[in-house]
A and B are shown apart, each in its own frame.
Chain A
Amino acid sequence: MQAFDYKFQQLEPIKSFKRVPAPEMYVPGHRTCAGCGPALNYRLVAKAAGKDTIFIGPTGCMYVANASYLCTPYAVSWIHAQITNGGAVASGIEAAFKVAARKGRNTGVFPNIIVMAGDGGSVDIGLQAMSGLMYRNHKVLFICYDNESYANTGIQTSPMTPYGAKTTFTPPGKEIPEGKVLFPKDAPQLVIGGHPAVKYVATTTIAHPLDLMNKVRKALSTPGPTFMHMLAPCPKGWLFPEHLTREMAKLAVETGMWRQYEWENGTYKYTNVPKQYKPVNEYMQHQGRFAHLKPEHIAKMQAFVDEKIKSVKQAIAVAAPVPASRQEA
């Protein structure tokens, strides 16, 4: 059984913008908001993956706004999954294509199987299914497009929502002035830390399209399960003008709010590391979700980010998420 050649795809890196494949696999006609980060994210992922691809779309913005009224913007096969089970549905699809290949029903290349899950569908309600997929060593790329909230339900906090953000479930008030008091999970570390079958994990943003596409192609060409965490700013949820979507992702990297890296078989490789990090407020000040914060809250955020940056500088695993445990970091 192990010896069977399933004809997994090997995708060459894209050398420059001029050589980006022209065909679009995520086409116009969807109903996402103006300036939607996740929609751009989807387009880039689909372009990089190409036509021999199957997408699994757990419930989230990219289900509700894309697959409305029996129309979908996918030029490749796509299936809706529940917000809970993207990883499990993808596992079943991969298993079915393996059997079909062994039985000679499917003699072509093995499809790229990609889960496009929001932050909730990845590391909150979808965490168990994602972990199951990675444990079972399926040939699937699991992407978390992170807009840092449950956005299509009206901006509720998720475990990826940053500290201090105002959401409809973390409203700032007299008793709780900072709104969200918890610090977010670390999505890639959840994968890296507990899934020995995973050999490639990468982070990227929609402001770095070539980086994004090449990481997707590398992930798809890696044996076994792979994971990508992508920052996809959300004008509606973060409360910034819609023409600044790309700028927000760029600033996130420049301030250290977001770290770009590849983790390959135990080794970290950081990219887009600024020579001098900008203060986090340069990122936060554009976003209405942080408008209520006082200087001490912003300082708390800066301390949190400083810890993360320290790890980047040492090129080691990102660790010690909350300032409270700073000394141990």
Chain B
Amino acid sequence: MAKELIMTGCRAAAEGAKAAEVEVICSFPIRPYTAIMMELAKMVADGELNAEFLHGEGEHAQLSVVLGACASGARAYTGSSGVGVTYAMEIYSPMAGGRYPAQMAIADRTLDPPGDFGSEHTDAMCTRDQGWLLGWACSPQEVYDNTLINYRVGEDHRVMLPQMVCQEGYFISHIPDKVILGEQSQVKEFLPPYRPIGPLSTTKPVSHGPQIRPDQGAPMDAQRAKTFLAVPKVIEEATADFNRIFGRDYDPFVEQYKLVDAEIAFFIMGAHANTCRKAVDRLRAQGVKAGMARLRWVRPWPTHQLAEALGHVKAVAVVETSTSYGGAMRGGNLIHELRASLYDLDERPLVTSFMAGLGGETIWPTDFDYMAKVLTEMVKEKKTKRYVYWIGM
């Protein structure tokens, strides 16, 4: 029988990496993701995991080490938080462009200034256009599951892309919850060994990463963009297999909670979705037809799935836990892409956004009540009055 345990998101990530039998791990400490590496270090020290555990001299080195390892045919794993994620910025594009399907665990943390330990999506969201797969979990269980699903998707030869498996710092990374760990046989059935394409080798010499001519740039970029068009199918297959083998019930892209007959909806990702579900229940008890769409993948962005899930509602509140200073909607990032996803519908919902959970603040049920009130007014007046509302400001 699969074991059900109580553990934090950090422990769950480490358990996922262990189940995936990662071979090269590169660490550097920064709160809150550090605990993932603490767990893995112990597993290696205890001989439970046959891996090389390297202390990188910074996040830039962490990414560089796993790039080299992945290029040499090893399943590689690293992670970070906050300014650590941005310190490694140079390496994201070479990782994705080189098609090295290593994995990076993120436990979100605010960027500076000033120093704040709180969770905010801005760290990993900064990397969203670097060509990685990117998505958020909403529980330790989903962290474990996403670790395996991401390796399966990323290492698929139709994909071959690095993956960022994100969880909120503290809300998930440090709050224990029930987690069912898979059996070795289940993991084996779901996740085949990493099969590198043209790895560094002494028997079959290869060159990785030579320069190109300017006219070779666009075709290469187009090839990467085209790859992303193929990813959704691979995600669907992997999610279906995962659900079957592990007995879960994930929608591949968007968790839809009471959306079918909803008039207003919250569009959210990550741990605050747990509060949001309760808020939806409470609003429904008061006669407000609310629902929730929770995004599981930011890259690839599920354009059509979102249009399908949210097209029928009258107004959407985008819950933004990352910043896009000076952006088109003056607040966060998600609203831009959601609005774009809905644009081609004949009748589309009104969409506004709420900056919430920034700096690691809790988003309270009453905050969702406030958002629902704004949405209800918008529906009544048939217009979006503001692009963005700052919760608590």
Contacts and interface: CB of A to CB of B under 8 A. Distances in A.
B326 interface: no
Of B73, B91, B205, most A-chain CB atoms within 10 Å = B205
A89 B209 contact: no
Contacts of B50: 99, 102-103
B207 A78 contact: yes
A108 B204 CA distance: 13
Nearest to A74: B207
A181 B52 CA distance: 45
Contacts of B62: 88
Contact of B208 (A80, A90, A128, A135): A80
Point out which of B24, B56, B65 has the most chain A C-beta atoms below 10 A from its C-beta.
Answer: B65
Nearest to A54: B200
Interface in B45-97: 50-52, 54-58, 60-62, 64-74, 76, 90-91, 94
B23 interface: yes
A22 interface: no
Given A93-B72, A96-B69, A99-B50, A84 B60 contact: yes
A105 B76 CA distance: 16
B185 interface: no
A152 to B, nearest CB: 11
A132 B24 contact: no
A76 B201 CA distance: 8
B71 A79 contact: yes
A69 B201 CA distance: 22
Interface in B138-164: none
B24 A95 contact: yes
Given A63-B211, A136-B55, A74 B94 contact: no
B202 interface: yes
Interface residues of B, number: 43
B201 A77 contact: yes
A99 B68 contact: no
Given A69-B211, A77-B207, A132 B69 contact: no
A214 interface: no
Contacts of A52: 202
A85 B91 contact: yes
A74 B201 CA distance: 13
Interface string A98-113: 1110110100110100
A91 B211 contact: no
A51 B212 CA distance: 26
A76 to B, nearest CB: 5
Interface in B178-235: 200-203, 205-213, 216
Contact of A92 (B64, B90, B203): B64
A111 B216 CA distance: 32
A63 B219 CA distance: 22
Nearest to A67: B210
B26 interface: yes
Contacts of A102: 50
A56 B73 contact: no
Interface in A103-131: 103, 105, 108-109, 111, 128-129, 131
A173 to B, nearest CB: 34
A96 B54 contact: no
Given A85-B61, A102-B50, A129-B57, 17 more contacts: A54-B200, A56-B68, A70-B216, A72-B210, A76-B202, A76-B205, A81-B68, A82-B91, A89-B64, A93-B69, A96-B68, A97-B72, A105-B73, A128-B58, A129-B60, A129-B64, A136-B54
10 contacts: A67-B209, A67-B211, A78-B205, A88-B64, A89-B67, A92-B74, A93-B200, A95-B69, A99-B50, A105-B73
Interface of A: 51-54, 56, 63-64, 67-72, 74-82, 84-85, 87-100, 102-103, 105, 108-109, 111, 128-129, 131-132, 135-136
Which 8 pairs between the two chains have the least Cβ-Cβ distance?
A: A92-B68, A80-B209, A88-B64, A96-B72, A132-B57, A96-B74, A67-B210, A85-B64
